[in-house]
Structures are given as C-alpha cells and as structure tokens.
Structure 1
Amino acid sequence: MRAFAEWLGNGAADAAASVVFHSEERRLLFNCSEGTQRLCIEYKVRLGKLSHVFLSRLDADTCAGFLGLMLSLADAGHAGLTMFAPRGLEKTLSTAKRFASRPQYPLHVHELGEDEPSDPLVQNPLFAVYALPWLVDEQLQRSLATQKDQVKRHCGERRDEEVPEALSSSSKNEVAERIFVTYAVRVADQKGRFVTERAAALGIPRGPLYGRLQRGESIEVEQPDGTRRTVHPTDVMEPSSPGPLLVMLCASSPDLVSQMQAPSGRQRLKQWFQRLAASTPTHRQKRPVCVFHFLCAEVFSDPQYQEWALDVFGADAYHSVACESFSNQRITFRGQAAMLERLKFVDWNWFLEPWTAPADPRARTTSALPATWQLAQPLLRFNAAPRTTLGWALPESHAAANHGWSRLNVPREPDTLKRTSSNNDSKTYSVLFLGTGSALPSRYRNVSAILVDLVDHALFLDAGEGTFGQLVRAVGLDTAKAMLLHRVRCIWISHMHADHHLGVGSLVALRTRLARELPQSERLGTAMMPLMVLGPRLLGRWLEALAELEPMSYIFLDNAALLQSDTSPLSEYFPQTLGIHLRTLPVDHCPEAYGLVLESALAAGWDQNGSKEQQALPVPTSAPSTARSSDNAAAAASWKLVYSGDTLPYDAGLIAAARGATLVIHEATFEDGKEAEALLRKHSTIGQALGTIESMQPQRAVLTHFSQRYPKLPLISSAETQQRLKANSCLLAWDLMRLPWFSKDGEQAGSRTLTTTPPAVANSDVVSLFLQRLLTEFASEFEEPLEIADSELDAELASSEG
C-alpha cells in the first residue's frame, strides 16, 4: 500500500493553501481555491482518480476554483465527485447552474452543520475521513452602505430621474455565523511482515496458504503425527503498524483560533484528536500524526500558536504550515516565469518578471521551527505508507527547480520599466494582460483578464479565475492591494463563460476585506469610491449568491443598460466621476455577450465639468501642432479603446464603433485554417481577427484569447500573416505583458512604446521589430509547432497511473 498527502497550493497569492491526499485507488482534495486547475497542470498532479472534495470553509480562498475544475472534469468524462462543505454551498451551486450547468455530471453535495458527524464521512479499506465543525461568530460588514447612494446622486440628481433597477448592491451589516471544518484522514493500519521462518517451523508449505494468512485468514495444517493444527495470522506475522492520522487544520480566522484556544475549544479538539489517534492494544507503536496548518498572517505571527499546537497534538507530531507571510517568496508558475525570461529577449520593456516577496525578517523561518515543522511548498509531501517511507519528502526535480528555475540571464537595460502601480510616466496609459488564454488555464497562459491602467483610475476587462494572483505577480502584493482598493473603479465582464468571470468574486471580496481594515473616515471618504461591476444579468445573481458566503461590497450594473448609454441616466456617472465613457455592444458569441467601447469623456462629447457637449471631439490620428489651441489640446487628450470580448469576426456594429480607435483588443482563438471550428464555437481565427481590424483602421491593435492548444505562442509562421500584423500595427498578447498605448498630452510615451503619432510609420516599425525578434527567439516552435489538446486533463484522465 502506498499513500501520501502533499501540498498543492502553498498559501501564496496565486496558490491558496490546498492539499491532495493520494491512495492507490482515489484522490482527495482539501480546499479548491482559484488556480487549482493550473496548479495541477504546472505540477503534473493527475485528477483522473479524484473522488472527493472537502472544503474547510466557504469563501474565495477555499472554493473559488471548484466551478472551473468541475466543468473541466465533466467535459473530460470524469466519473463524478462527492463534496463535503459547510452549509450554504448547495444554494450557491444551484445559482451557478444557470451559467455553468453539467446536468449529466454526477455531483453529490453533503453539507455540514455545527454538530460533529457521528460516523466517518468516507470509509473504505484504505482510509477513513472524519470531520469536526466549528461555529464561529464574526462581525461582518457586508457593504459600505453609502455606495449606492453616491452613484444615485451622480446618475439621477441632474435629470430628476429614477435610477434603473439594473443598479443593485449588497447592503447588509450583520453578525454572521460561519462554519469552519477540521478534517482528518486516518490511513488504514499497515500489516506486519510475514515471517517465513515461523511458517516453515509450523510446517506450512510455500504456496497459496501463505497468501491466505497474509489476507488475515486462519488455516489448518497437517502435522507429522497426522493431527491437524489451526494456524492464525498472528502466529506467522509481525504485529501491524497503526496507520498515520493526517489532520487538515483550517486556522485562517483569528476568531476561530481564539475559540480553539479557549479551554472548552481546546478540550473539544483534544478529545476528538485523541480518539482518532488512539492505537489498538495489538499495536506496539504510536500512531504517527501529521498536521497541515492553513493559516492567516495574524495567526502565523502569534508565538502562542505553536505552543498550543504542541499541547494539542503532542511533541511527536509532524507539522507543515501554509501562510502568505512566506509563500510569496517562491515562484508558483515556473513555466510562465521561464517563458517571460525568453520574451524579455523579444522586448525587455513590455514583459514583466514575476514578482517574489523579499524575506520578511519578522516572520519565523524554517531554522526557527522544530525539525518536524515544515513550511509549505507545492508538492511537499508527507509519506504515510509504507511505514519505511514515513516522513517529509520533496521530489528531486521540484527541489532543484526551486533553487535554479531561472535558465536565462536576461540583460537589464538602464531604463527598464520599473514595477510600480502605474508606468514611470504618470501621463502614460497602459494595458496589463493578466490572462491571454481561452477556456482553460495552461502553464504559460491563464484565462482571460486585462487591466486597463488610466493612471488615476483602473478597470478590469474580464476577470477569469486567478486574476488577482496574476496581478500580484505583475506588480507586487502591496501594490496590487493598494491598486484594487484605491484605483480600480470598475470590473467589466463581457459574457458568462467561466473563463471570463470566475475571478470577480475574489476581487470584490478582497477589496471589501481591505476596506474593512481602513479607518472609518477613509472608508467613507473620497478615497473609497464605489466599486462598479458591469456584466450580464446573470452575473448580478451570481454575486448575490457569493455575498451570502462572505462580505462583498459592490454595485452591479447590467451591461444591457449601457447599450443606449447616451440616453440613460447612468451614462453620466462615469464621465462625471472618472472622466471616461463606457458603451456596450452586443456581439455574436453566446446569450448576453458584449463588446466594449471605452473612451475619454472628451472624445464622447462630455466637457470637463461633466456636461454633455453638442459634438464629440475626434480621436487624434496625426501629430498635434507644437502651439495648439485649447480645442487642439483637448482633442489630443481624446482616446478610444475597444475590446471585442469573444465574438465571431466582422461584426458590423463593433467595426463601426471601433473605426479610428486608439487601441483595439480583439480575440483570435484559432489559427488560420480552422475557420469551421471557429464558426461552430463562435470565435475568430487570427486571419479573421486581422480582417476585422483592417476594417476598423485603428492606430494599433493587440490579439489575445488564444486557444490553449497553442500553449506558448499562436501559429503566425506564414509570411502573409506576419505582413498583415505589421501593416495593421498589431501585436500578440502574453500574460504579464504591460503595453503603454497612450500619452495624455498626445506625445510619444517613450522609445519602446507604441506611439500615438504618427501611427502609420512608428507603430509599424515597433511591430516589425517585435515580430522579427519573436520569430528568432521561437524559431524551434515554428519549425515544429507544439500543439496540445484543449485540456491537459484529457491526457491525465486517460492515464492509468493516476
């Protein structure tokens, strides 16, 4: 028998803590945060034998990755899942069925209340799983009560009109009862060694009788004097060893830890643990114990926590700790990091090196902990069986990669773009691509997400699973949190496919938590403007369901309300408060699918006081004069960004709206030659996307949303495709690519930047150089195009090795 438990996520910003238990026949997953699929792909953790998922609490850090995982497993023909979670999950999943339904997939949900189950949750000959729930009262402020009123004032005050019902928000302030669950896996006892010398002394012939004794059967053996003697397994086998007990201890809430450390809670946990860890009289050894700690920074820094754990679980127990305080010091997605190093040879200024946290001298390190305590990292495993392998282990290939994953020494230019919340030039707008793949994540590309940085404000265009983790790796943890709290004003979602919106809940919940930590004066001040979430109608219902699980402060607006933005009272809010104008366009992809036109308020015909002008100012297409009038200056500050979302090509409405745009971001899911598949799935090929862009005639364009069958780069090896990319000043997007695209004063934003003037020459030259270096660096990939299935899970499920 072989069994072990290993960390999958280690508590980093892009890999919240999760554990996978492996046995010969099954896999158990404890917590399923955002990025779980991508972690499995990165570290080759096979999911074909996954049978059960256990959630320790209901929030983004524990369950935000489950929907994406379930959809992928269902589409790959997986046999089905059984879930155990605190009460409330079934209601949430019921809401999700409206946009993520797989009716034929066997999914069984069991909700846990505050009472301890009398029987094991799961029991078979190899292991048993037990649960100990905790009911914790937490003071949760579910929203900032004044947010909707602020928007209403902006939207309806001037016109004395009622704000449409499309505008909704969560506005509860209450003490919430949350259930946390501690799980334990007790591995089956390991049989003792069969002693052949004893069997021979008892006259047992070699053969099938040995096997019967090893299976626990008693046999009769004829003696030399003709009598028959009964031989029991204990006569020829050494005593069995007690199987290890693996405890999954979620201690991510200070309120929960306080309850556990109180005399009554400590006694309750001790009694539960001692009952499960007790050995039988036939055991000569104590049952080994390993505790996986899921901690928040506040608990990890508490010196009394370790003393408490030693008291409850004993001095002989093994421990491992997952916490963001130290986990961000490691690169999580090494394939992405290696790709970005290669891309820096293509352009050292556009591609960001993944951020890692510096060592925190205040945090405890491995040297400060006992030898049996380990800091979590992906694939760090505790071997539970066989007994000879008991203890911590790390695959050699992974250990080597952790210390030397970087294979390239990229030269640094003196004016390399620094990692800040915005560009060095405070007047330069940029787009930061956080996910450029489609459908499923891969090692190199996450699912769809773009951050539009407008210096004073920022907004997300789509937010697939893992968006915030990607933002952290792009700009750093502190900067990402400050950006989300103080500068991100809007999250816009194009449609309800999972790869475009499953990261929204985490963004809203995290912003709410950060806001709660602010002083009351700052929380209600101008620094905390409302967070608007715009998307299809179903997104609003999904956020309402998520807001029942954890605090979420947001205001939702149905995208349909912005189809006729100039006649809606809501149209005044964004020009007045942010200086931008939003307009949605229906596109042909799925029900309630939209594209977006985002432009400066001046370009849309709003003056600097928030009043509607008679005529919109044109987006500049040529260099402004040196001494320009106020009108010319205003026109130079006009811009337009158009995002296609997912769509069939040549959409007439999108083309008309995007004509002459400053920047167009268009999907290009498939390679040329796959037009039939693109039509079936209502996507665009690279050639079709370029044809659409040619009709739009923008100053510059970027292609994104590539199928994960092209894991490193899309197929653009043909000379015709390369020429069309150059002619249309069109680039290809990668994850953690930050592209400056507009200067507020209309001037060139830097020597390595796509310029606003003159676009026909300068931008074409930049794209030509980019493509030339790209083709050189990735020549081998073009010679032998690397294609994978749409889902790496297919191969995993087909594997017999699990």
Structure 2
Amino acid sequence: MKYNIQVIGSATIDTRASVAVVFDSQRYLFNCGEGTQRFLNDRSRTCSAVSGAKTRNLFFTRNAWMCIGGLPGMILTLADAGGKGMVLRGPPGFTHSLAAMRQFLYRPQLPVQVKEYSLESVDPDYHDENLTVKPVFLSPSPSKSNDTLINSNGKRIQLGTDKRALQLRTEETILGQMFTNSPGPPVTPLYTGKKQKETASTEKSSSTIEPGKSGHPLADAGRRSATANDTERLRTNRLDPCERSDTVIAYLCKGPKVLGKFDIAAAVALGIPRGPMYGALTKGNAVTLADGRVIQPEQCASPPKPGAMFIIIDVPSVDYIPSIQSNLSLQAASHKSNPIQCIVHLLGDGVLDHQGYKDWMNSFGDKCQHIVSSVDHNPQELVLHSTARIQHDLNYAENAVFPLPYFTNEAKVPLSKVPNLPKLTAPSRPLLSYQFEPKPLLDSTAVEPFAMKKSDSVSEETVAKFKKEADAVRASHVFGDPFKPLDNKDMICVPLGTGAAIPGKYRNVSSTYLRFSTGGIFLDAGEGTLAQFYRHYGLETDAELCQLRCIFVSHLHADHHLGAINILQRAYQLRRDTLDTDPICVVGPTRYLTWLSEYSDVEEFGFNKLVLVDSKDLMKDNNWNRIQKLKEVTKTTQFQTLLVKHCAAAYAVVITHESGIKVAFSGDCRPSNQFVEVGKDSTLVIHEATMDEDKKAEAIEKNHCTTNEAIDIAKRMSAKNLLLTHFSQRYPKLPRLDMKSHSASSDTLSIGVAFDSMRVRVSEFHQLQTLYGPLNTLWGRVVQEEEMDVLEGVSVSGGGGGVVDDVIE
C-alpha cells in the first residue's frame, strides 16, 4: 500500500504550517490555517493531497488562529462542492471556537462531528483501516492556564471542570444546529412567516429577508421544533467564557501493517491452486478453496511488517520542551521495536536553537527523517504562483501601479547553519512529501521552483501586441513614485482582495486598504489579507501596520472578514512590543462584534484594547463617546453607515477624512438610492461589480451588482473616481467592460478596475482607465473558464460562503 505525508503549508505568510497524510482511499489533514484553500486552488493540477470527497478527518494541534483560520472557509467550500462530511479533532477550547463561528458558519447539509480532546478524560486513539492517531498533550513549563480563563476584559477567572462540562454541552447543542451529525440535537426549521414589505424609505433594506430562505435555525425563534426560549438564548446570548488553554497536541501516528512476502511453498502446502487465488492473497484478500476452507493472506506469507510510525509535533516556544522530554510516548526508547521514521516539526521562535530540543531530535537515530517548518528556517518564497504571474504581466503595464510582490528564496537562517541537527533534516516546502511505502523516500518532485514570468495562457503574439500598446500608453501618462510620503491632500488605495466568494487563483477575497496621511483603514478583511499586505509592503509591513487605525467589516459573509483576526493579532503584538498605545477601531455588525468577543476567550489579539463600534449606531449622526473616539482615531469628519440590500445587517459606508477626501464603499449590495444620496460628490467610490451585464438576472437573485449598475451609481453620485471590485471568480483575470463607451458618456468620472495588490493615489486615479486597453488585449480573449474546474459545484457568484441571511440585527 502506497502512502505518504505531504506538506501543504509551510511557515510562509501565505500559508500556515499544515500537512496531509495521503492514502488512495482517504486524506487526513493536520491543521488548516489561512491560505490553505487558496494554495490548493493554485496547485489544483499538481496537488491531490486534499480532496473534498476524500478529506474526512482533520486534526488540530492548537486552538489558535494560525492553525484553524482556514477551517471555516474550507468547511463552506467543501459543503458547497458536495463534500461527504468530516470529523474535526482539536485541543481544549476547540468546540468553543467553532460554536463562536455560528454567526457566519452554517451548513446543515454537511455532516460535521467535533471532538474536543480533554486533559480530564481518557480519549481513545483514532483508528481506521489506514491510520492510528494518538493525541499527546503538551504543556508549557510553567503552565499559564492552570484551569483558569481570561475574559474579554483581560481578567483571569477560575474555572472548574464541572463548569466547562456544562459549557461544552451548550456549545455542542449549537454545533448540532450548525451542522448535521454534530454532538448536539439538530433543530428543524418550521418557518411560517411571510416576507416583509420593502419600502422606498429603507431602500429595500437587507433587514427585510424572507424567513426560511436559508433555513438558518438560529434566526427565527419560536417557529421551530425547539423551544423559543432555548433558541433565543442560543441566537442572542454571548457564549460563556471558556478557559484560554495553552495545551498543544502532538500526534503520534501509525500506518497500516504491511503484509509479508507471499510464500509459494506455504500456499502449495495448503493446497491452493496456482492462478487468480495467488493474486488475491498477495493483495491481502482471503480466498475460499473448493473444499470450503477459507485461507487468510497471513497463512501463506512471511510475518507482516508493522505500520510506519511518525510524529507531527507543534512546539510554539522553548517552554514546551520539558513536556516533550518527559513524555514517554514521544521518546525514541519507547519505539525500539518499530522506530519512528519521520517527524514533522512545527516550530516557534528559538526552538531549533535549543540544545535540549536538538538532543531529542537526535535521539531517534540517523535513519529518521525530520521536516522542519519554522519562520526563521523557511524562506518567504512565493507559493501562490498563478497570482504572481498575473502581477508580473500587470507590472509591465505600469510598475508604479502594479508593484511586484515581495519575496525571498533564502531562509533567514538556513538549516545548514544550525549546528548539531540530525543528518536527515530538511526544511519544509509546499508539496514536499515523505513516502512510507513501498520504500521510505523524501520526494521533492512536486516542489515547484518559482520563476517570475508571464502567465502561461497567453500566446507570444498576444504578448508582443500587449507590450506595444502598454509602451504607447505608458508614454502618455505619469505615475509618480508610489512610495513617496503622502501629503495631507492625497490618499493611496491598495486593493488586497478583489474576488468574490472564495479565494481564487488570481483574485483573493475582499479587502481594500486606504492609506491617508494620518493612518490606514481596512475596508473588509477576507481570509489571507495579512499575507496580501505583506507581499505588497514587504519589509515595511510592520511599520505600516503600526499606522492602522480602523477595520470596517461590511457584513457577516465569511469572505469579508476571516482575515481580521490575523491582522489584529499582529498589530497587537507590534503595539505591545513598541509600547504604542494608539487604539484600533473595529466597525461591524452586532454579530461580528459578538464573534470577536467570544473568540477572544481562547486567544489573545488585543480585544480589550479595541474600540468597538456597531455599524447600526453610525447610521445616524450620534454624538456618543465611542463614535467620537472613532472619528478622533481615524481623523474623519464623517463615518456614516447605511443598510444595503444583500443579506441581513449588510452595510455600506461613507467616510470623509479631515483632508476633505470622501470615500464611499458599497460592500456587497444591489443598487441603493440612499447610498447615492449619502455618497454625493465622493472623491472615490469603491463599488462591487460582481457580475457582467449578461448575468444581471443572477445579480438580482444573489443581491449583487453588475458592472454597469456600479458605474451608474457613481455617475449619479457625481463622483470623481470609481474603482470596480469584488468580481465573480468566473472572471478571474479581467472583467468584460466597454471602457470607451463609459468614458465617452461621462467627462468627469474616471473608472478603474481593481486588481489584487495594485496601488494608486487618488491624485493620479484619472490615469488608470488608460491601462484597460492593453490589459484587454492581453487577457480579453483568454478562456475565462480556466478556473472553473477548481470551482465546479461551488457557488462562485459572490454568495459569500457561510451565509447567515436571516439573522436580523
């Protein structure tokens, strides 16, 4: 039986450390950080390690966003692609994290079971026909949890075992409503309500959603088989705080035993006739002889070889090393009869420099293969090849607007410079694999060396024509130095994610960064936003994050906010290290703020230092302290939200900076008259343009806009500039747009098409539309379905994944 362990994510900013154990019949995924899904889309033609039909068991080493941040998106995509279900296993607090996601994660058609490993209970090892997995608990020395919790106010509270058991039952009940086959009882929606009338005064507000459209069982209390009180409590009440555990789980794994060599002499002695029965026995199948005897494979084979042993170990810091050294299950001496063949190390700062850890590695002998995933010892290489090649093409059109992504192929500290490591120690690389059977082998054939070059789908003739047009256009405009200091009358717009629904090969999910002279504002922050930010700003990333003032989340669809935790966590660390006391404001729907509060129970990201503002409180000019603080921090004179028609609690926002620059951001929506009114005379309109005009009926059905509708909104606003974004993944490179006719119909509106990691100053925005012609020459005739093989069966219309359409603020 052939099987292997394959690296999915290494320690780069794009993908967090994760590995898959690959059998023909099934895949087993260990950790699923942000970027996992996008990487798999990018390498879909060369990577089969994770399959929707075959990935049914996921194991998590830590209840931390770097390990679970890609899980919500993965669940949503696998569910929409017809996945058969999955079992999720993780450390203490894991169930709490998943239950907190109820605000945006809901797929009742997908069977999901959740198993939280506990220090208090003796849990059986996982075992099936392929794999045996034993969880091994590791704790820091000294432990910081000690059966306590830290609430969202930063206070430590004592928590007993009985209290956690009660919390766990509540969380399991919620999971039973989010998925099928979860521990809690499922609740069947029995809606009888009628759709509310939509009035002109509310501009067909998203609050008027038809009950039962998505069937969300947490949405409409009292109309279901559960009691109204229980449902209302689960829908609105904050989860009780749970222990912020520092427990980490290592996984000790064993593959299937391998049958011994077929013994012909034994087969003859047993009276087995030569022919098909020999073949069946060598494949491990029993046979029945003519006299009725049943012969088992082991009766005519040499003794079987025990299954290969391997370890997946997560060591966040040197504080965990004593726990490793004292755990008998992790000692080489405990496996003398069947030595450990491979260890995958997921290491934090300083661990590989610790002599005690290196001694432990060396104790497994010179035949054990070690694969090391560590920020210091893995290069920040480009792992998303498709989007990098697109940026290469864009960069030729205008390098000031489309800078190349930052990367390095050299590790900060190459493993060759680390003394006393075992002989067989290799750095983790995406798609690096270690084969256990039929013979041990470290295989790097799928590790693709990346070369910055043009995209492969365009002919040389087309490229030559594109370059000729781009050269001519470049001579007609002047974009200044994109990194020169900002003056108070200008602003830089950096789209970081311009695609809809799921992370695509060429466009990531929604996020736009506005950089004023006084600081930065994120408009939405989909999964992978921090990675995009890093690839854009490179070595200046931390300095730029120190200028972050606000994150605005337009609505609860997962593709608009799953990257915020990562950003807030890094920004908090920087402020803590530099003693910076400037707060960060987070503006979002009520349910989003609840999610942040509940997740802060299990991991620190500076929640108690955030200024939280509910979007609904910004619909009117309230003079509340929190709103005044928001305007003070962001240096704005206007920060006004308005409901738009998309899903419940979907908001657009209009922001006016003290410099006079006015930005109107639509979020996801149908055209809104109120948005036109509030956004009058905007300097820049950033508007979703999910669908082409020939998909208008689908745009109406999905509550999105077409490109023409977005352009009409900006014209009615008398806006100066319009940036079109949030394109369906069916238009992976360039949306279809008649730029000439639109330009002819308006002398004042400048139109630009957003691309990931572009960079444009408002003062130079009017030159953007001249770039569309060359880009249309390059990509206009490219078959736009090239990405649909990845997305087949998935809703790519910008539905957002994890839609909680019926939740009313």
Instruction: Check whether TM > 0.5.
Output: yes
The partner residue of 1:72 within 67, 73, 77 is 77
- Aligned pair 1:644/2:634, yes or no? no
CA separation of 1:86/1:197 partners in 2, compared to 1, >3 Å: closer, same or farther? same
* Matched-pair contact (CA < 8 Å) for 2:415–2:427: no
Unaligned runs of 5+ in 2: 156-237, 456-462, 796-809
Give, as a single letter, the amino acid of the residue that structure 2 aligns with 1:737.
Answer: M
The partner residue of 2:354 within 289, 294, 302 is 302
Structure 1 residue aligned with 2:720: 699
Residue 591 of structure 1 aligns to a residue whose secondary structure is: coil
Q: What CA distance in whole angstroms lies between the structure 1 residues aligned with 2:367 and 2:641?
A: 61
- Aligned pair 1:134/2:134, yes or no? no
The alpha-carbon deviation at position 127 of structure 1 amounts to 1.6
The alpha-carbon deviation at position 573 of structure 1 amounts to 2.2
Structure 1 residue aligned with 2:756: 735
The alpha-carbon deviation at position 240 of structure 1 amounts to 2.6
CA separation of 1:406/1:117 partners in 2, compared to 1, >3 Å: closer, same or farther? farther
Residue 254 of structure 2 aligns to a residue whose secondary structure is: strand
Superposition pairs of residues 614-625 of structure 1, within 5 angstroms: none
CA separation of 1:461/1:219 partners in 2, compared to 1, >3 Å: closer, same or farther? closer
Comparing 201-210 with 669-678, which one deviates more in the overlay? 201-210
Q: What CA distance in whole angstroms lies between the structure 2 residues aligned with 1:674 and 1:663?
A: 26
Superposition pairs of residues 523-562 of structure 1, within 5 angstroms: 527-553=580-606, 554-562=610-618
- Aligned pair 1:188/2:235, yes or no? no
Structure 2 residue aligned with 1:242: 306
CA separation of 1:246/1:337 partners in 2, compared to 1, >3 Å: closer, same or farther? same
Q: What CA distance in whole angstroms lies between the structure 2 residues aligned with 1:426 and 1:564?
A: 27
Residue 97 of structure 1 aligns to a residue whose secondary structure is: helix
Q: Deviations over 1:361-397 (max 9, x none)?
A: 645348965542110111001112223xx221023xx
Residue 381 of structure 2 aligns to a residue whose secondary structure is: coil
CA separation of 1:562/1:119 partners in 2, compared to 1, >3 Å: closer, same or farther? same
Superposition pairs of residues 148-163 of structure 1, within 5 angstroms: none
- Aligned pair 1:393/2:443, yes or no? yes
CA separation of 1:231/1:341 partners in 2, compared to 1, >3 Å: closer, same or farther? closer
Q: What CA distance in whole angstroms lies between the structure 2 residues aligned with 1:725 and 1:200?
A: 90
Structure 2 residue aligned with 1:154: none
* Matched-pair contact (CA < 8 Å) for 2:90–2:116: yes
Residue 341 of structure 1 aligns to a residue whose secondary structure is: helix
Q: What CA distance in whole angstroms lies between the structure 2 residues aligned with 1:303 and 1:428?
A: 53
Structure 2 residue aligned with 1:771: 772
Q: What CA distance in whole angstroms lies between the structure 1 residues aligned with 2:242 and 2:319?
A: 16
The alpha-carbon deviation at position 506 of structure 1 amounts to 1.8
Q: Deviations over 1:291-340 (max 9, x none)?
A: 110011322343542222222x3332111011122434310111110000
The partner residue of 2:704 within 667, 683, 695 is 683
The alpha-carbon deviation at position 92 of structure 1 amounts to 2.5
- Aligned pair 1:507/2:567, yes or no? yes
Q: What CA distance in whole angstroms lies between the structure 1 residues aligned with 2:756 and 2:273?
A: 66
The alpha-carbon deviation at position 254 of structure 1 amounts to 2.9
* Matched-pair contact (CA < 8 Å) for 1:322–1:375: yes
The alpha-carbon deviation at position 344 of structure 1 amounts to 1.3
CA separation of 1:712/1:268 partners in 2, compared to 1, >3 Å: closer, same or farther? same
The alpha-carbon deviation at position 346 of structure 1 amounts to 2.1
* Matched-pair contact (CA < 8 Å) for 2:723–2:752: yes
The alpha-carbon deviation at position 418 of structure 1 amounts to 7.0
* Matched-pair contact (CA < 8 Å) for 2:722–2:749: yes
* Matched-pair contact (CA < 8 Å) for 1:143–1:512: no
Q: Deviations over 1:115-145 (max 9, x none)?
A: 5845312x12222111111244238988897
Give, as a single letter, the amino acid of the residue that structure 2 aligns with 1:192.
Answer: G
* Matched-pair contact (CA < 8 Å) for 1:725–1:731: no
CA separation of 1:686/1:176 partners in 2, compared to 1, >3 Å: closer, same or farther? closer
- Aligned pair 1:21/2:73, yes or no? no
Comparing 70-79 with 250-259, which one deviates more in the overlay? 250-259
The alpha-carbon deviation at position 514 of structure 1 amounts to 3.1
Q: What CA distance in whole angstroms lies between the structure 2 residues aligned with 1:229 and 1:81?
A: 40
CA separation of 1:740/1:138 partners in 2, compared to 1, >3 Å: closer, same or farther? farther
* Matched-pair contact (CA < 8 Å) for 1:326–1:363: yes
Over the aligned positions, Cα root-mean-square deviation in angstroms equals: 3.5
Query: What count of residue pairs does the alignment treat as equivalent?
Result: 680
The partner residue of 1:105 within 98, 110, 122 is 110
Superposition pairs of residues 562-581 of structure 1, within 5 angstroms: 562-581=618-637
Q: What CA distance in whole angstroms lies between the structure 1 residues aligned with 2:560 and 2:295?
A: 66
Give, as a single letter, the amino acid of the residue that structure 2 aligns with 1:306.
Answer: K
Q: What CA distance in whole angstroms lies between the structure 2 residues aligned with 1:668 and 1:542?
A: 28
The alpha-carbon deviation at position 557 of structure 1 amounts to 1.3
Give, as a single letter, the amino acid of the residue that structure 2 aligns with 1:652.
Answer: N
CA separation of 1:324/1:416 partners in 2, compared to 1, >3 Å: closer, same or farther? farther
Structure 2 residue aligned with 1:757: none
Q: What CA distance in whole angstroms lies between the structure 1 residues aligned with 2:38 and 2:633?
A: 38
TM-score by length of 2: 0.77
* Matched-pair contact (CA < 8 Å) for 1:346–1:777: no
The partner residue of 1:482 within 517, 539, 543 is 543
Residue 404 of structure 1 aligns to a residue whose secondary structure is: coil
* Matched-pair contact (CA < 8 Å) for 2:511–2:523: yes
Q: What CA distance in whole angstroms lies between the structure 1 residues aligned with 2:129 and 2:66?
A: 32
Q: What CA distance in whole angstroms lies between the structure 2 residues aligned with 1:212 and 1:337?
A: 49
Q: What CA distance in whole angstroms lies between the structure 2 residues aligned with 1:329 and 1:104?
A: 38
- Aligned pair 1:786/2:785, yes or no? yes
* Matched-pair contact (CA < 8 Å) for 1:563–1:585: yes
Structure 1 residue aligned with 2:425: 373
The partner residue of 2:87 within 71, 82, 86 is 82
* Matched-pair contact (CA < 8 Å) for 1:58–1:89: yes
CA separation of 1:354/1:428 partners in 2, compared to 1, >3 Å: closer, same or farther? same
Q: What CA distance in whole angstroms lies between the structure 2 residues aligned with 1:247 and 1:293?
A: 8
Q: What CA distance in whole angstroms lies between the structure 2 residues aligned with 1:457 and 1:595?
A: 21
Structure 2 residue aligned with 1:663: 684
* Matched-pair contact (CA < 8 Å) for 1:117–1:131: no
The alpha-carbon deviation at position 75 of structure 1 amounts to 1.7
CA separation of 1:570/1:349 partners in 2, compared to 1, >3 Å: closer, same or farther? same
* Matched-pair contact (CA < 8 Å) for 1:702–1:731: yes
Q: What CA distance in whole angstroms lies between the structure 2 residues aligned with 1:13 and 1:230?
A: 56
Q: Deviations over 1:642-670 (max 9, x none)?
A: 11111102x11111122211111000001
- Aligned pair 1:95/2:100, yes or no? yes
The partner residue of 1:597 within 650, 654, 664 is 654
The alpha-carbon deviation at position 218 of structure 1 amounts to 8.6
CA separation of 1:690/1:564 partners in 2, compared to 1, >3 Å: closer, same or farther? same
CA separation of 1:416/1:354 partners in 2, compared to 1, >3 Å: closer, same or farther? farther
Structure 1 residue aligned with 2:807: none
The alpha-carbon deviation at position 497 of structure 1 amounts to 0.5
Q: Deviations over 1:454-499 (max 9, x none)?
A: 13311111011111111111111x4222322x21011110011100
* Matched-pair contact (CA < 8 Å) for 1:13–1:328: no
* Matched-pair contact (CA < 8 Å) for 2:400–2:482: no
Structure 1 residue aligned with 2:499: 437
Structure 2 residue aligned with 1:282: none
The alpha-carbon deviation at position 596 of structure 1 amounts to 1.1
Q: What CA distance in whole angstroms lies between the structure 2 residues aligned with 1:132 and 1:768?
A: 58
* Matched-pair contact (CA < 8 Å) for 2:751–2:769: no
Residue 701 of structure 2 aligns to a residue whose secondary structure is: helix
Q: What CA distance in whole angstroms lies between the structure 1 residues aligned with 2:781 and 2:751?
A: 23
Residue 327 of structure 1 aligns to a residue whose secondary structure is: coil
Give, as a single letter, the amino acid of the residue that structure 1 aligns with 2:617.
Answer: A
Residue 83 of structure 1 aligns to a residue whose secondary structure is: strand
Superposition pairs of residues 201-600 of structure 1, within 5 angstroms: 204-211=272-279, 213-214=281-282, 215=284, 217=286, 236-261=300-325, 265-267=326-328, 269-270=330-331, 275=334, 277=335, 279=337, 286-287=338-339, 289-311=341-363, 313-357=364-408, 359=410, 362-365=413-416, 370-387=422-439, 390-395=440-445, 398-399=446-447, 401-407=448-454, 428-476=490-538, 478-484=539-545, 486-518=546-578, 522=579, 527-553=580-606, 554-581=610-637, 582-600=639-657
Give, as a single letter, the amino acid of the residue that structure 1 aligns with 2:343.
Answer: V
Q: What CA distance in whole angstroms lies between the structure 1 residues aligned with 2:265 and 2:91?
A: 53
Q: What CA distance in whole angstroms lies between the structure 1 residues aligned with 2:438 and 2:644?
A: 57
Q: What CA distance in whole angstroms lies between the structure 2 residues aligned with 1:293 and 1:532?
A: 37
- Aligned pair 1:5/2:26, yes or no? no
